Amino acid sequence: MRLCALLLLAAPPALAQDAGVQRELIQRQQQTDQFQQQLRQSQERLAVPPGDMHGRQHLDARQLSEQQRLENLNAQQLRDAQIPRQPALRSYDRDTAAAARRPFLSPIIEVPARSAPPPDRLEPQPRGNITPLEPPR
């Protein structure tokens, strides 16, 4: 009986420590992913010609959006890591978190947008009792 009581008192700190380890593992992976993203973005920035201000602004806006999305995902994953889970599911949680961050690590391939052909010119059509007038010559 005393042994059961002792085990019950010792179990919560062990589980909390395990959850803390889980959180630290996720944080380390997130730091690695953020570094990889920064490296990829700096390489993309080098590919933009120095005089292309429009291209630079477009790239900066896209990269800022990517950084914010990754930061939001990281915060969400750290919140989810605080939820008590069974030890057997923790590695699954880390794999799922890594899969969710994977799109932020690969290079972004933008498909050039094709402009739509101009619309056909619409001629006004008279309706009702309207008689079209010929322009004076």
Residue 60: predicted pLDDT: 92
**Percentage of residues in the chain having pLDDT higher than 70:** 77
pLDDT of residue 1: 54
Residue 78 has pLDDT above 60, yes or no: yes
Residue, of 90 and 96, whose pLDDT is higher: 96
The answer to whether 18 touches 88, Cβ cutoff 8 Å, is: no
Question: In the chain, what percentage of residues exceed pLDDT 90?
Answer: 9
Q: What is the Cα–Cα distance from 12 to 19, expressed in whole angstroms?
A: 10
130 versus 101: the higher-pLDDT residue is 101
Q: Cβ(45)–Cβ(59) under 8 Å?
A: yes
> How far apart, in whole angstroms, are the C-alpha atoms of residue 78 and residue 82?
7
Q: Is the pLDDT of residue 115 over 60?
A: yes
Residue-level pLDDT at 64: 92
Query: Can you tell me the distance from the alpha carbon of 74 to that of 28, in angstroms, rounded to the nearest whole number?
Result: 11
